[in-house]
């Protein structure tokens, strides 16, 4: 299903169902992830496209994870090796993959998936491109009693384009009718097929094998299973979910809208837990990001990857954090940080760039227009502004002044600089690595240091100043005469 839904209307939080309900080890799942996604116009397989910090496939596997299912079978096809490897990278030890090749429709995908399921009472069939599903909704679908099947459905004011769930006068399901085959009366039905199901495992393989190909595409559709079950007088139930949860992704616009909805859902959950988000509409936080209560996120922030923001920290405005740890009480503003650890009560910015491998200690500071890379900066040490610290270790209580640079690259290799506790590096200083500035040493402004500075020493590495009295006046007079 690919309902075109407003991104500003996420479903209400439904909670984690894993602690409630019956054990679900008897339920297996088939995740249909074989499609190419032609309308995405991409060389990347559809389910590998990222949205809000995870791939489409990992979003779906993520909501299956807390259900405590038995085997989860991912049916792959297009770019089978890549998708299979990605499925195995989900971290779930009950995931296996099978290849659907060639691809003859959703019914055929279920048949291929069943080949990897031995023991199960129920089989859950889930689309791999539905990132807005919640675990609570899938739990309600999975928890149907043995002997019954169910369709996941929603109600749409405008059901155009979707298969209708047809029922009798008593509300019993008679079948699923695709729109092109609907009568005028059936077109008025607002209950639509969400494309996900639960079936009894017993006899399912035989029923799937009986699905025909008498349709425009010449494919075997899983929807035909509903008609076969009804013909056997078996009960088929309908499990209703919010329309937004059943939204699939078929093109770039739907991918973007899914991302908006996922991020807004995540923001709402964070704010409910006690996080201050000053302007949710101007804040982008992926679902992989963890922000503790009493942290504050100001407008214009982009937080991605495994970023963690601790209680009392303030991030923003206009700050980008990726895979970054921000400790309690830290302040990061108008800066870019990538794979960085920022210590308690430290300050970053404005307009700083902290690159991978930077560790900023408690009460430390990296200020305006400073850049760091692969650098450890100790407690209370300061890199105030307009400086570069790369491949370096700064101890505690170091002052690394304006315009100072660690010269770490010789054209072939990177070299390390060490500035020990309490040292002072003056403005516009070049520390040519490998070099060490000892504990409590001073380096005079404007120096180019190529040799180690002993502890407690003063290093002056610059030409002695020469003053030529009257030179400027004479030069000016000569110029005027010319």
Q: Give a yes or no: residue 350 inside a domain.
A: yes
Cα separation, 310 vs 290, whole angstroms:
8
Sign of CA dihedral 118, 124, 129, 133: negative
| CATH label of the domain that carries residue 221 | 3.90.550.10
- The answer on 432 and 298 residing in a single domain is no
State the total domains in the chain: 3
- The answer on 294 and 229 residing in a single domain is no
- The answer on 348 and 221 residing in a single domain is no
The mean-pLDDT minimum among 17-26, 47-56, 127-136, 252-261 falls in 17-26
Q: Give a yes or no: residue 181 inside a domain.
A: yes
Catalytic residue chosen out of the listed positions 385, 415, 416, 479: 385
| CATH label of the domain that carries residue 317 | 2.160.10.10
385 as an active site residue: the answer is yes
- The answer on 27 and 124 residing in a single domain is yes
Q: Give a yes or no: residue 423 inside a domain.
A: yes
- The answer on 283 and 241 residing in a single domain is no
- Band of residue 22 on the pLDDT scale cut at 50, 70, 90: low
**pLDDT at position 21:** 60
Q: Using the predicted structure, report yes or no on whether residue 20 has a pLDDT greater than 90.
A: no
Convert the pLDDT of each residue in 387-431 to its tens digit. 999 999 999 999 999 999 999 999 999 999 999 999 999 999 999
Look up the pTM and report it. Answer: 0.88
Convert the pLDDT of each residue in 356-389 to its tens digit. 999 999 999 999 999 999 999 999 999 999 999 9
- The answer on 294 and 238 residing in a single domain is no
Q: Give a yes or no: residue 263 inside a domain.
A: no
**pLDDT at position 214:** 74
Q: Give a yes or no: residue 123 inside a domain.
A: yes
Cα separation, 32 vs 248, whole angstroms:
12
- The answer on 409 and 364 residing in a single domain is no
Q: Give a yes or no: residue 5 inside a domain.
A: no
- What Å distances lie between residue 257 and 7, 42, 301, CA to CA? 6, 18, 19
- The answer on 213 and 280 residing in a single domain is no
Mean pLDDT of the 186-194 span: 93
- The answer on 365 and 286 residing in a single domain is yes
- The answer on 152 and 58 residing in a single domain is yes
**pLDDT at position 229:** 93
End of a domain among 226, 246, 266? 246
- The answer on 303 and 165 residing in a single domain is no
Q: Give a yes or no: residue 11 inside a domain.
A: no
- The answer on 394 and 365 residing in a single domain is no
Q: Which domain holds residue 33?
A: 17-246
**pLDDT at position 35:** 92
Q: Give a yes or no: residue 264 inside a domain.
A: no
Q: Using the predicted structure, report yes or no on whether residue 11 has a pLDDT greater than 70.
A: no
């Amino acid at each position: 299903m690919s309902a075109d839904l407003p991104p500003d209307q996420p479903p209400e939080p439904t909670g984690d169902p894993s602690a409630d309900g019956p054990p679900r080890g008897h339920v297996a799942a088939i995740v249909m992830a074989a499609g190419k996604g032609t309308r995405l116009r991409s060389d990347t397989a559809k389910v590998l496209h990222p949205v809000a910090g995870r791939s489409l496939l990992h979003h779906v596997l993520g909501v299956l994870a807390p259900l405590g299912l038995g085997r989860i079978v991912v049916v792959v096809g297009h770019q089978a090796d890549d998708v299979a490897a990605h499925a195995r990278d989900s971290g779930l030890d009950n995931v296996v993959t099978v290849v659907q090749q060639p691809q003859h429709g959703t019914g055929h995908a279920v048949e291929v998936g069943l080949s990897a399921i031995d023991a199960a009472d129920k089989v859950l069939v889930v689309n791999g491109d539905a990132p807005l599903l919640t675990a609570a909704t899938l739990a309600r679908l999975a928890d149907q009693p043995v002997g019954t099947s169910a369709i996941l459905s929603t109600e749409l004011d405008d059901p155009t384009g979707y298969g209708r769930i047809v029922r009798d006068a008593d509300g019993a399901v008679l079948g699923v009718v695709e729109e092109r085959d609907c009568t005028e009366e059936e077109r008025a039905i607002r209950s639509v097929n969400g494309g996900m199901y639960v079936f009894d495992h017993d006899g399912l393989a035989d029923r799937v094998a009986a699905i025909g190909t008498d349709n425009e595409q010449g494919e075997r559709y899983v929807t035909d299973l509903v008609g076969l079950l009804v013909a056997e007088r078996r009960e088929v139930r309908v499990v209703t979910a919010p329309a937004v949860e059943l939204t699939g992704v078929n093109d770039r616009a739907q991918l973007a809208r899914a991302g908006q909805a996922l991020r807004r859902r995540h923001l709402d959950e964070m704010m409910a837990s006690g996080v201050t988000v000053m302007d949710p509409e101007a804040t982008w936080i992926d679902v992989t990001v963890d922000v503790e209560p009493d942290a504050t996120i100001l407008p214009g922030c982009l937080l991605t990857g495994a970023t963690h923001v601790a209680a009392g920290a303030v991030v923003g405005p206009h700050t980008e954090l990726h895979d970054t740890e921000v400790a309690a009480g830290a302040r990061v503003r108008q800066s870019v940080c990538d794979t960085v650890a920022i210590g308690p009560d430290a300050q970053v910015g404005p307009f700083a760039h902290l690159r991978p491998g930077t560790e900023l200690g408690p009460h430390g500071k990296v200020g305006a227009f400073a850049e760091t890379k692969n650098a450890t900066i100790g407690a209370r040490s300061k890199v105030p502004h307009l400086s570069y610290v790369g491949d370096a270790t700064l101890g505690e209580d170091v002052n690394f002044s304006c315009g100072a640079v660690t010269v770490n690259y010789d054209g072939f290799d990177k070299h390390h600089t060490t500035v020990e506790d309490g040292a002072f590096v003056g403005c516009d200083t070049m520390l040519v690595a490998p070099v060490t500035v000892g504990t409590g040493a001073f380096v005079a402004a404007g120096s180019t240091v190529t040799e180690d500075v002993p502890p407690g020493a003063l290093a002056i590495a610059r030409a002695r100043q020469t003053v030529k009295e009257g030179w400027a006046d004479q030069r000016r007079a000569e110029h005027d005469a010319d």
